Structure 1
Amino acid sequence: MRIAQVSTLYERVPPVAYGGTERVVSWLTEELVARGHDVTLFASGDSTTGAKLVPVCQRALREMEGAADPAAFHLAMLERVVRSSEAFDVVHFHTDYASFPFARRLACPHVTTLHWRLDITGLETMYREFHDMPVVSISNAQRSPLPWLAWQRTIYHGLPPDLYRFNARPHDYLAFVGRIAPSKGPGAAVEIARRAGTRIEIAAKIDEGDRAYYERDFAPLAAESHVLFRGEIGDSEKSAFIGGARALLFPIDWPEPFGLVLAEALACGTPVIAIGRGSVPEIIEDGVTGFVVDSIDDAVDAVKKLPDLDRVRCRAAFEKRFTAARMASEYLDVYNTLARSAQARRQ
């Protein structure tokens, strides 16, 4: 198939360090290329891909200080997709609802993966206007606020199977990976480790929007004797870091649509202790690949039960449910269904 992948521009594809959507776009794109499909990637100019790259800006917007509003770059990219849409059998947007007004003018079928939460006040008004847009959810929990959208399928994110190594013998620390933001729960992770009498190592990004939270609330916690704050790390470091942990802590305080780090942990054989919000109960099997808990107290108790879990089963769950190959196959099913429907309408 001739497939267009349309990424966001905040990070390059794939990102150097932190980045969720752009990493998934990269894994999907490269898997499709490996299968022989003709793939075009719309992304920042510093992206690395085996597909045909259409650079929309010189480099990732995160690195462009003093540049225009990010919407300006995304609008230009989406218009370019429309102009070239006759060259594709399907266009796959990863830009959430920004693509919707442009998608109506495409010369080919399209689908949009929604990567963000849908329970925010005001979103329903917009989605009502675009209720016919074909969309894919990244968890069943994500779609629950708007069950009447034109959902094509729930497709969990997938990673290359050799990206992270399985580690059967972890070190004696708990891990936290993500962003230093209240919704991600880094403070709760520090408290869980403290109360469990265990070291915690934290590898996390600090966005400028979270700088005040970091300085006011988190920096004092990072100075505690049982805490090692590593800062932001990339894929090349995650295998040793996550794989070396007894467990990944995921004490979120929001309805996480997927939680890519959960799949990364399973790829390393590392079980997860997570607050059961959003997609967590879909990804982590309680008592098998980790513990799904309701509170910090429960998380502390779960640390004591980690020896009961089999890290081999964690890796097996990853290989069965969260590989890039499985993700690509499911998206190809959606692409083909949309293409057949479009052809039927033309006849």
Structure 2
Amino acid sequence: MKIAQVAPLYESVPPLAYGATERVVSYLTEELVRRGHDVTLFASADSTTRARLVPVCERGLWRDAGVWDTLTHHVRQLARVAHLAHEFDVVHFHGDPLHFPLADSLPIASLTTLHGQLLPVDHGPLFREFAAAPLVSISNDQRGPVPWANWRGTVYHGLPLDEFEVQPEPGSYLLFLGRMMPGKRPDLAVEIARRAGWPLRMAAKVHPGERDYFSQQIEPLLKQSAHFTDYLGEVGGGLRRALIANARALLFPVEWPEPFGMVMIEAMACGTPVIAFRRGAVPEVLEHGVNGFIVDGVDEAVDAVANIARIDRVACRRSFEARFTAERMASDYLSIYEGLLEDRRAAAQPPVAHYSMYGR
């Protein structure tokens, strides 16, 4: 199959550090190539892939100090997709739905995976306007605000089996990893660690729009708790993998409808249990008592830390292998691609003329 993957341009594919969407696009692209498909990746020029790379900008836009308007680069990306569309069987878009008017007129099948939170006031009118646009959700919970949209399936994220290694004997710290934003409640991670009596390591990106939140709400808290909190900033590569693998537990005290939570399955792949608030897709991803604990508030999270040794880290890894591999993710997407192509073939068939013994 000839497949185009269209990634957001904010980070390289895969990203240097933070960037769950770009990481998923990379895992999917490489697995499709491994299976022998002809894959083209539209992404930033600093991306690394075995697929054919169509570079759109020099580097991930958030890594380029000279870039101010990221929209202009994504418009150029769509122009390149349109120019090359005749070479593909299916084009798979990821990220913001800027491409909907274009995809409507492409001569090939298209699919959109939505990686963020959906809002009925914003996405509802959009999905009604483009009612034929095939969509994939990354969790069933993500669909909640617009359950009537043209969903072709839910595909959970997946990781290559060898991306993370199990660490049977963890270190003596808790971990908060991801992004410094109000909905992820890094302040509650600090409170949980303090009350549980465990050191906390925090590795998190601060986006430009969240700098005030970080400086006004989180930095003072970090200074007050410096005796047990180690803030590392944004991390990637081997350091990031080691932090996850050696953590006693990952804290995920989200208070927004997290559509998936990539870091949860990264922790599971290391055998590191997750302590997460019951929000968004958490109950779909975690199995309470198997690969972590699903809790309702700080008090239960503190109790979960005290009982974290009850989680078998090898069993935690097995739960990842059963549900969240890149192989399974690619198989799910290939089934959806085939369904889209079958629909197009059926639509292209001429209508069957019906005759009777008395004539037409």
Same fold (TM over 0.5): yes
Q: Which position in structure 2 is the counterpart of 1:228?
A: 230
The answer for unaligned runs of 5 or more in structure 1 is: none
CA contact (8 A) 1:28 1:327 kept: yes
RMSD of aligned Cα (Å): 1.1
Shifted more, 246-255 versus 92-101: the winner is: 92-101
Residue 65 in 1 paired to residue 61 in 2? no
Q: Which position in structure 2 is the counterpart of 1:259?
A: 261
Q: Which position in structure 1 is the counterpart of 2:352?
A: none
Matched position secondary structure for 1:121: helix
CA contact (8 A) 2:187 2:221 kept: yes
Shift of 1:121: 3.2
Matched position secondary structure for 2:201: strand
Shift of 1:284: 0.5
Q: Which position in structure 1 is the counterpart of 2:328?
A: 326
Q: Which position in structure 1 is the counterpart of 2:274?
A: 272
Equivalents in 1 of 2:166, 2:127: separation in Å?
A: 41
Residue 307 in 1 paired to residue 287 in 2? no
Q: Which position in structure 1 is the counterpart of 2:204?
A: 204
**Greater CA radius of gyration, 1 or 2?**
2
Shift of 1:294: 1.1
Q: What letter corresponds to residue 231 of structure 1 in structure 2?
A: G
Query: CA offsets, 1:56-105, max 9 Å, x none?
Result: 11111112224352111111111221221111010000033111111011
TM-score where L is the length of structure 1: 0.98
CA contact (8 A) 1:96 1:112 kept: no
CA contact (8 A) 1:174 1:198 kept: yes
Give percent identity, aligned residues only: 54
Residue 173 in 1 paired to residue 177 in 2? no
Matched position secondary structure for 1:122: helix
Shift of 1:312: 1.1
Which of structure 1's runs of 4+ aligned residues deviate more than 4 A?
A: none
CA contact (8 A) 1:78 1:99 kept: yes
Equivalents in 2 of 1:160, 1:114: separation in Å?
A: 21
Q: What letter corresponds to residue 35 of structure 1 in structure 2?
A: R
Equivalents in 2 of 1:301, 1:293: separation in Å?
A: 9
| Equivalent residue runs for 1:59-208 within 5 Å | 59-119=59-119, 121-208=121-208
Q: What letter corresponds to residue 312 of structure 1 in structure 2?
A: V
Q: What letter corresponds to residue 132 of structure 1 in structure 2?
A: A
Equivalents in 2 of 1:125, 1:150: separation in Å?
A: 13
Equivalents in 2 of 1:127, 1:120: separation in Å?
A: 10
CA contact (8 A) 2:185 2:254 kept: yes
Query: CA offsets, 1:220-276, max 9 Å, x none?
Result: 222211111111111322221111111100001210001000000000000000011
Q: What letter corresponds to residue 121 of structure 1 in structure 2?
A: V
Equivalents in 2 of 1:89, 1:111: separation in Å?
A: 11
Query: CA offsets, 1:264-309, max 9 Å, x none?
Result: 0000000000011000000011121111111111111111111211
Query: CA offsets, 1:176-221, max 9 Å, x none?
Result: 1001111111110000000111111111111121111111111122
Matched position secondary structure for 2:156: coil
Query: CA offsets, 1:310-333, max 9 Å, x none?
Result: 111110011111111110111011
Query: CA offsets, 1:118-170, max 9 Å, x none?
Result: 13633212221112210000000001111111111100001111111101100
Q: What letter corresponds to residue 146 of structure 1 in structure 2?
A: V
Q: What letter corresponds to residue 281 of structure 1 in structure 2?
A: P
